[in-house]
Structure 1
Amino acid sequence: MVKKLVLAVLPILFSYFVVAQNPHLSGTVNVDLQTGQITCDFNLTNIPDLGKEYQILLNKGFNIKHLKNAKGEMIAYDGFYNGKMRGEGLTYLPKNEDKVIENPKQLEINYTGAFPIYANEYNFTDFKGLIAFNGKTLRAAEQSKWYPIIYDVKKDQLLEQVTYEITIKCSNAAQIFVNGDQPKPGPEAKFKSDVAIAPLLFIGNYKVQQTSNALFLNTDMNKAQLAVFEMEIAEMKAYYQKKLGIPYHTKNVIIEHTAVEKFNKGRIWGFATYPTIAIAGGNLAETVDEVNKKFKDSTDYPFYAHEVAHYYFGNVLQPNSTLFWFFLESTAEYLSVKATEAKFGKIYSNAYFKNACLNLKNFKVVPLNKITEINQIGGTYRYNYGPLILRGLEQMIGEKRTFEFLKACLKAKSKTTDYAFFKDQALLSGITEAEWIAFEKQFIESENVTDLIKY
């Protein structure tokens, strides 16, 4: 999520998560902060029985040394030549005599890659899917596919969350952190999680600060600033918990990292890999007003509220399929508007929707019921236009019933989040067929809803 201009330590309450068989990752990772080289020697076990309907995804910057089966025998694979991409990863398929190996319950994979060092230099962009070295730290989230990720073809779902037991080695790192375990001093440390989670990496030379409900990595806040920051986040959690009816007792990990894209002053970018929230582009200590006990800039509140909302849409519900971006980002942005409205009043939400409508006046979209491919919902669509669709639903049925719809989505288990899912959960939440038809005609099938939104 990028802020501005508008705009966790650890185990979570997992009883609300989709119950599924999660792969287990074990092995060793070697990282060099000065050269950008990463070498991994992994065993992937407990792989779900997907028959031949699976792929293995790995960041395009890695070169596979070998792939072996459970017996330690080298096996062939497709993808090394003219490989197909899925997001940030190349797709690989284990083969036996030109036939896909069915249900490989265990795979050994060894690979190496080197990535640019952005020390006083910049890329044209930075995003969650980038493996980012800056000479002092390495940041690698699950979206970057720094570890092998199984893709379930039938369900159109990435099995990013894994249990793990891995050793990280980095001779030039003072601290090493893997999402799901505590940060530990380098140059070598073992990490383990018996709860399935997406193992984000944050390695380098930084300070660790701790409060009663959070860890702060690479920040430089005093006790008063830490307390204010934690208080603001706790307020957002309490609002979501009350409105969505699902506990949010997670202790977060807040990372301040350096973007490898040049940011103008006042611009902040962040993402969530729960329980971690990673923020780039600013000094967190400078964002806190100790005297008045709040964020100095009011636009910081909705920015953080968006990332906090990903606990629900991104973790409790793990979107997939054609409406992936709508159910991941548009929902989180809509929730951030509602949380900020609860704090600052309707003057905020009215201004938000007015500005969005003015800025998107000429924006043309593919209606949600016509989406056939995930990336038809681009950045502007998912962050700015999608929330207007949810605002339209709120206009028709009211805020309370809109939250009932969102609750229904969160309670759905192992569903494909396509347009049929949208409609099914709406009807399950109590929206009538007649109301759905009216909503669909007005707000879904329109090429632009800005003239319909009230503020």
Structure 2
Amino acid sequence: MRKLLLVITGFYCLLNICFAQDSVPKLTGNIKISIKEGSIESDLKLENIPHLEDYYIRLNKGMNVLNWKSLDGKGFLLHASVEYDKDSFQTGESMAYYFLDNTRKRKYLPNNLEVKYVGKFPVVKDTLNDNYMLSDWKGNIAFNSYSLRTDGAQSSWYPILYDIKKDLPYDNITYDINVSCIDCKVLYVNGSAPLNSNKGQFESKNPVPINLYCGDFKYKEIDSIYFLNPDLNKNQLDSLGRDIDKYKKYYQQTFAIPYKDAFTLIHTTPLSKRNAWSFASFPSVVNIGFGKYGLQLYLDSANRLTIAHELAHYYFGNYRKFNDVLGDMMLEGFTEYTGMQLMRNLISPNIYNKILTQKINILKDFQAVPFGKIKVSSDFQNRELYVYYYAPVIFTAIEKIIGTDNMNSWLKNILNNKEKTTNYAFLSGTLKNVIGEQKFAEIESQLLTSDISKSNAIELISK
């Protein structure tokens, strides 16, 4: 995800071999939505659940659960416990549920599970008066006057299984669900084609994050790209479609990994006055913003890093998953670096240089802990600065030392490596595989473990 804070303008397929889920759960059942009421009523079954000894099931805090039911055997209702303190993956939107067996000492997880719940959320009708939120964000279950927007894992509007031992969320799942919305004209479930209706059956045999976009809006299909609620004219959409196709081909050539699945680009407006951002949830990318921060942002050469970044998440975040304490840095840092290379090679070297200079200037007073000394996520100090600014600057400095070809070989190694834990040993080991022990030792001492890594990186880049 790449944010544009207007106060300060500054995540699938069965063939995914990298960090693949051991088995893929399937979501079935019924969902009823009302835009006017800001409500979601669900009767859902989670099937083909893998056997996990230690787990949580995340569900949005706004969902009032009627009951949980094991569908094993004759079926029976379950008593759910909640973990309030130890679910470190939470971003605040969800509660972490689990079930105990008859001994009350071990966790119990059925092979198939049913949950019924109702959620009701604020509806922001406009941002002109006081009927709006102070801030909006990716994990928000967002109702405005004409639509519902959710992501998958962060909002946890559907039950998300999480493997504690492997630090692995099962947010990419298959589904066969019925969606109805009394006041909608278009329904979209990630991984399926949009439907001009207020009810429909949606199915995906490929695991995806199940984000929703439903409401009273129009959509267009141009050259196998769906544009939902576009705020551009036909000529602008044609131009944007050509750009997206060009960027996808560039990434395919760089990583030698095909860009699969039909692509959907969604535009909507935030529930706040001063937020705008984009996030990737393949096969869709969602743009949230008013006016110049809508889709036209992607047509401005100076701001095309935004769409370049989100399209790069197909590889970093979709094809390759990341976890452990450095996972967030790798997810966003490599994506931002990759988007910057596209800017340099396809858009404008001058704009690329301006972006790099801006990042260096913003890091002026930031005291960064090097990758090799990060122990907990709080060591980032400022996540925004660390993953979107410091990390791509470090990667740019590494590229300066080893060259573009070796850098691309490192990125390919990261994408195709089957190691499931993406910690510092993974980061350093994949680089060492490309450049050898001696060269790696030089880079590690300057850029990966040094307390003055930021200064060293800036000096290297400036030469």
Q: Name the counterpart of 2:56.
A: 55
The question of whether the paired residues in 1 share the 8 Å contact of 2:225 and 2:265 is answered with yes
Q: Name the counterpart of 1:34.
A: 36
Q: Name the counterpart of 1:163.
A: 174
The question of whether the paired residues in 2 share the 8 Å contact of 1:181 and 1:191 is answered with yes
Q: Name the counterpart of 1:69.
A: 70
Alignment partner of 2:455: what SS? coil
Alignment partner of 2:323: what SS? coil
Aligned partners of 2:368, 2:224: CA distance in 1, in Å?
41
Total equivalences in the alignment: 443
The question of whether the paired residues in 2 share the 8 Å contact of 1:361 and 1:450 is answered with no
The question of whether the paired residues in 2 share the 8 Å contact of 1:24 and 1:46 is answered with yes
Cα separation, partners in 2 of 1:399 and 1:183, compared to 1, 3 Å: same
What pairs up with 1:137-148 in 2 under 5 angstroms? 137-142=147-152, 143-148=154-159
Q: Name the counterpart of 1:439.
A: 443
Aligned partners of 1:287, 1:58: CA distance in 2, in Å?
31
Cα separation, partners in 2 of 1:318 and 1:172, compared to 1, 3 Å: same
Aligned partners of 1:113, 1:249: CA distance in 2, in Å?
34
Cα separation, partners in 2 of 1:376 and 1:139, compared to 1, 3 Å: farther
Structure 2 stretches lacking a partner, 5+ long = none
Aligned partners of 1:260, 1:77: CA distance in 2, in Å?
33
Q: Name the counterpart of 2:409.
A: 404
Aligned partners of 1:118, 1:22: CA distance in 2, in Å?
36
Q: Name the counterpart of 2:362.
A: 359
Task: Work out whether 1:277 is the aligned partner of 2:285.
Answer: yes
Cα separation, partners in 2 of 1:283 and 1:369, compared to 1, 3 Å: same
Q: Name the counterpart of 2:342.
A: 339
Aligned partners of 1:83, 1:170: CA distance in 2, in Å?
36
Aligned partners of 2:376, 2:41: CA distance in 1, in Å?
33
Cα separation, partners in 2 of 1:19 and 1:157, compared to 1, 3 Å: closer
Aligned partners of 1:81, 1:243: CA distance in 2, in Å?
43
Aligned partners of 1:198, 1:135: CA distance in 2, in Å?
25
Alignment partner of 2:169: what SS? strand
Deviations 1:335-381 (A, max 9, x none): 11100000244323322222211111110223222223345441221
Alignment partner of 1:172: what SS? coil
Q: Name the counterpart of 1:291.
A: none
Aligned partners of 1:342, 1:132: CA distance in 2, in Å?
37
Structure 1 residue 382: Cα displacement: 1.0
The question of whether the paired residues in 2 share the 8 Å contact of 1:309 and 1:332 is answered with yes
Structure 1 residue 271: Cα displacement: 0.4
What pairs up with 1:32-431 in 2 under 5 angstroms? 32-50=34-52, 52-70=53-71, 71-79=74-82, 86-87=90-91, 88-97=93-102, 98-120=104-126, 121-142=131-152, 143-263=154-274, 268-283=276-291, 296-374=299-377, 376-377=379-380, 378-413=383-418, 415-428=420-433, 430-431=434-435
Cα separation, partners in 2 of 1:364 and 1:236, compared to 1, 3 Å: same
The question of whether the paired residues in 2 share the 8 Å contact of 1:171 and 1:186 is answered with no
Percent identical among aligned pairs is 32
Structure 1 residue 327: Cα displacement: 1.7
Aligned partners of 1:83, 1:329: CA distance in 2, in Å?
24
What residue identity is the alignment partner of 2:345? A
The question of whether the paired residues in 1 share the 8 Å contact of 2:43 and 2:117 is answered with yes
Worse overlay, 340-349 or 134-143: 340-349
Alignment partner of 1:334: what SS? helix
Cα separation, partners in 2 of 1:103 and 1:431, compared to 1, 3 Å: farther
What residue identity is the alignment partner of 1:138? L
Structure 1 stretches lacking a partner, 5+ long = 289-293
Cα separation, partners in 2 of 1:100 and 1:124, compared to 1, 3 Å: farther
TM score, norm. by length of structure 1: 0.91
Deviations 1:110-148 (A, max 9, x none): 122211112213323222111111121110111211110
